[in-house]
Structure 1
Amino acid sequence: MAAPPSPSPSPLARIRAAAPPSAVAAGLIAVLVGVTSSAALVFTAARAAGADARETSSWMLAIGVGVAVSSIGLSLRFRAPVVTAWSTPGAALLATGLAGVSMAQAVGAFVFSAVLMIVSGVTGWFAKAMDRIPVPLASALLAGVLLHFGTGLFASMDGSFAIAFPVFVLYLLARRLLPRYAVLVALGGGVVASVLAGGWHLERIRLSLAEPVFTAPSFDWKVLISVGVPLFVVTMASQNLPGVAVLRGSGYQVPVSPMMTWIGAVTAVLAPFGAFGLNLAAITAAICTGEEAHPDRARRYLAAVWSGVFYLCVGLLGATVVSLLAAMPHALVMAVAGVGLLATIEASLAAALADPPAREAAAVTFLATASGVTLLGIGSTFWGLLAGVLTSLITSHRRGRTASSPVPAQPAVSSGTPQRTAP
């Protein structure tokens, strides 16, 4: 006799499964941190290219749609929290490098940089390089990247104690009583505290929708070399490299080459509308890969999916979202980001120092990355990893020589019993 069919889940159960509060909160916090930390750079870069208000709004729309498509698509494809973002160092580079460059030439450089990313994905060279990075160094790299946000939780108490301290205390209490919703409770408490403290500036909010503006690319070899190549280099070294480290440090072995190919293709398609550079996220991805996003590692990809949904809203609303974020107290963003990343920082430091022979190299990687140094236009994530690899190569050679040196035999001590010399 056939077993009766199991009842289908109710609509409410489906909503709960697709939108766990902790995952939705993690996705929202990731977008808040990402947008508030660098949206101004996007506007500055667009203005440097001579963009008017409509074109600038189109840049935000294209970037928001691109991040949404890549985050949602890759997360569902690999069932892993793959969070993408726009290239923050790329936007900083464009803010100074697009002076005297026409919009069409700038778009040509965006397309060229995207094609280089596609080539890196198809050939697999970037994945091969990442496979050679030891886990302690990758974990130290992640800890160094996140250090600023961890200390920012406490630094924000200086001058905004009434906002940051309640966030911290509510997070600790919720970790004990409601651990799954700790960050969500901290966020809600922070909003209430900031409203009571009068930290919001609602007069800065402006309502407007974004419209796509197409610009045909123009390929000038001088602009391709001076803008396109540096944009590709800083995006790969300062964004994609730590982005892969975040995923692997959290235990997600997602194939790198398909991700690079997909992100590059999305960027190339949306570049004529202003998507100058998309890449794997690092800091915001760490918010979605930790246990605060979901207690089940296999379900944390939902946090990345929801971050994509919120990024789509950012793109559609454009300047409205940016003005809303400008009205939000900066201390609230830093405090919530700090508590949301505590568990990830703890796990990263533990993994970085777990292997005694690699501790020195991991410490160098952590310190150099956390220093924030920028050389040749490339950020500290690349130089921190390079310093760690160099330290590892030299110290491992030193240890190898020490281990291979013969141990001198100790002279036998005269006594009534025979002494055994060291072999």
Structure 2
Amino acid sequence: MGGSDVAAIETPAYPKNIWPAVVAGILTAFVGYASSFTVVLQGLQAVGATPGQATSGLIAVGTAMGFAAIVLALRYRMPISIAWSTPGAALLASTGAVAGGFEAACGAFIACGVMIVIAGLWKPFGKLVSSIPAVLANAMLAGVLFGLCIAPFHAIAQIPDLALPVVLAWAVMARLKRLYAVPVAVLVAVIALIISGVPDFSVRGSFWPQVELVTPSFSWNAIFGIGLPLFLVTMASQNIPGLAVLRAFDYHPPASPLFVSTGIASLLSVPFGGYTVNLAAITAALCAAPEAHPDPSKRYIAAVVAGTVYVAFGAFAGVAASFISVSPPILIQAVAGLALLGAFGSAMSGALQNPSEREAAVITFVATASGMSIGGIGSAFWGLVAGGFVMALHRWRKAA
């Protein structure tokens, strides 16, 4: 075999056309936005945001994750995808309003962003977070998601004429092409609402994207009830899996700068009502897989395009928020629940995989799903505390 043949084998002739990466980036942004923007708006309003503040927050967090994706993908020439924390938004929806209102919630968002930055800069802190048992983190996440995941069934009972077509469309599309199931469900929900004549858009000006400044306030109740659980959920269900997805496709970016960058992007979005951005987990595979481009060195283009489209979607945030504000809340919760069923299944599987730790995981799940609040601190924190106590007691008894 000649030298030229060896060179041809070692350096494959990849096509120079970047169109597949562009298409993959557009698809990533569409799926990421359409499948979970309802969860984000639901979560922000649940912790006290007005419709205007929720819209502003959607614009801010979408812009933050878009620019973060563009910067990181160009910096490392890797398909590093950024997303908002969908499980984090579900956490907000299940936690509800806190003392101090949305301003206190924004203070908790700042605390979460600072902790993400510290996790990237200070290795002992990052190791401490990583030492939290995965079964407890998964059980807490499952408890957070549970309330929204049962919403589709409540919606079928309350408004079957609207909810049933949405759920059926999701189920059929999930069987054919799961990636498009939630966007199709969103589209069917919009069509069903228009046909039924439910929307009554009396304020056309709300269609235009507008940002509102929020002055954060700080309280220990909000920090422990929202900030700390939001940080743990973001790290356990987004950042760490996001790195794993990249490594599965043979991309090995340094973790520390990624955490610091997403933490800073999160902090920059908070004054406008935004919350947490992080590494994408599910949609990351769309940019990193061979379908995005046969040449691994060109797949970063998909992440850049996705970030650009995320920023552009900010112009439609007003329309999305206006439509949701005049729609039946239970229907919006149902669509959000459908978007989170996969995450719920993965979390439950991870929580119950070890029989010796199953009891602690169940305690964590039940306590978190209960929605209890003690001292103004939400159930996600107390679920983790209860499960951790049971696990420590079991390990102590076993050692004794």
Indicate the SS of the match to 1:354.
Answer: coil
* Aligned-pair CA distance for 1:73: 5.0
Q: Kindly provide the CA deviation profile for residues 321-365 of structure 1, in whole angstroms up to 9, marking residues without a partner as x.
A: 532331344344223222222222222222211111011011111
Residue 361 of structure 2 corresponds to residue 336 of structure 1 = no
Distance 1:263 1:369, change over 3 A: same
- Structure 2 CA distance, aligned partners of 1:109 and 1:370? 21
Structure 1 unaligned segments of length 5 or more: list them. Answer: 48-55, 100-105, 218-222, 402-423
RMSD (Å) for aligned C-alpha atoms: 4.7
* Aligned-pair CA distance for 1:242: 0.9
Residue 37 of structure 2 corresponds to residue 31 of structure 1 = yes
Indicate the SS of the match to 1:83.
Answer: strand
Taking structure 2 as the reference length, the TM-score comes to 0.71
Indicate the SS of the match to 2:276.
Answer: strand
Q: Is the 8 A contact 1:263 1:278 kept in 2?
A: no
- Structure 2 CA distance, aligned partners of 1:330 and 1:179? 25
Q: Is the 8 A contact 1:107 1:276 kept in 2?
A: yes
Q: Is the 8 A contact 1:39 1:322 kept in 2?
A: no
Structure 2 unaligned segments of length 5 or more: list them. Answer: 247-253, 293-298
Worse-superposed segment, 262-271 or 335-344: 262-271
Based on CA coordinates, which of the two structures has the bigger radius of gyration? 1
Distance 1:346 1:93, change over 3 A: closer
Once the two structures are superposed, the pairs formed by residues 8-407 of structure 1 within 5 Å of their partners are: 8-9=16-17, 11=19, 13-20=20-27, 24-39=30-45, 41=47, 43-44=49-50, 62-70=60-68, 73=71, 79=79, 82-84=82-84, 88=92, 92-93=97-98, 95-96=100-101, 118-119=117-118, 121-205=120-204, 206-210=206-210, 227=218, 233-247=224-238, 250=241, 252-253=243-244, 257-267=256-266, 269=268, 274-275=271-272, 278-280=275-277, 288=282, 312-313=311-312, 315-316=314-315, 321-401=320-400
- Matched to 1:387, the amino acid is A
- Matched to 1:33, the amino acid is V
* Aligned-pair CA distance for 1:296: 5.7
- Structure 1 CA distance, aligned partners of 2:146 and 2:107? 36
Worse-superposed segment, 294-303 or 155-164: 294-303
- Structure 2 CA distance, aligned partners of 1:74 and 1:27? 19
- Structure 2 CA distance, aligned partners of 1:139 and 1:70? 27
Q: Kindly provide the CA deviation profile for residues 269-293 of structure 1, in whole angstroms up to 9, marking residues without a partner as x.
A: 566xx246632579xx78x4699x8
Aligned length: 370
- Matched to 1:241, the amino acid is L
- Structure 1 CA distance, aligned partners of 2:178 and 2:288? 9
Q: Is the 8 A contact 1:82 1:301 kept in 2?
A: no
Worse-superposed segment, 154-163 or 117-126: 117-126
- Matched to 1:278, the amino acid is Y
Distance 1:112 1:37, change over 3 A: closer
Indicate the SS of the match to 1:373.
Answer: coil
Distance 1:211 1:397, change over 3 A: closer
- Structure 1 CA distance, aligned partners of 2:302 and 2:202? 31
- Structure 1 CA distance, aligned partners of 2:61 and 2:33? 17
Q: 1:410 aligns to what?
A: none
Taking structure 1 as the reference length, the TM-score comes to 0.68
- Structure 2 CA distance, aligned partners of 1:97 and 1:6? 51
- Structure 1 CA distance, aligned partners of 2:233 and 2:99? 21
Q: Is the 8 A contact 2:56 2:210 kept in 1?
A: yes
- Matched to 2:355, the amino acid is P
Indicate the SS of the match to 1:164.
Answer: helix
Q: Is the 8 A contact 1:140 1:366 kept in 2?
A: yes
Once the two structures are superposed, the pairs formed by residues 404-423 of structure 1 within 5 Å of their partners are: none
Q: Kindly provide the CA deviation profile for residues 181-226 of structure 1, in whole angstroms up to 9, marking residues without a partner as x.
A: 333333333332332233323334433343687x9x9xxxxx9xx7
Q: Is the 8 A contact 1:139 1:349 kept in 2?
A: yes
Q: Is the 8 A contact 2:79 2:288 kept in 1?
A: no
Q: Is the 8 A contact 2:134 2:350 kept in 1?
A: yes
- Matched to 1:279, the amino acid is T
Q: Kindly provide the CA deviation profile for residues 129-165 of structure 1, in whole angstroms up to 9, marking residues without a partner as x.
A: 2211222222212211111121011111122111221
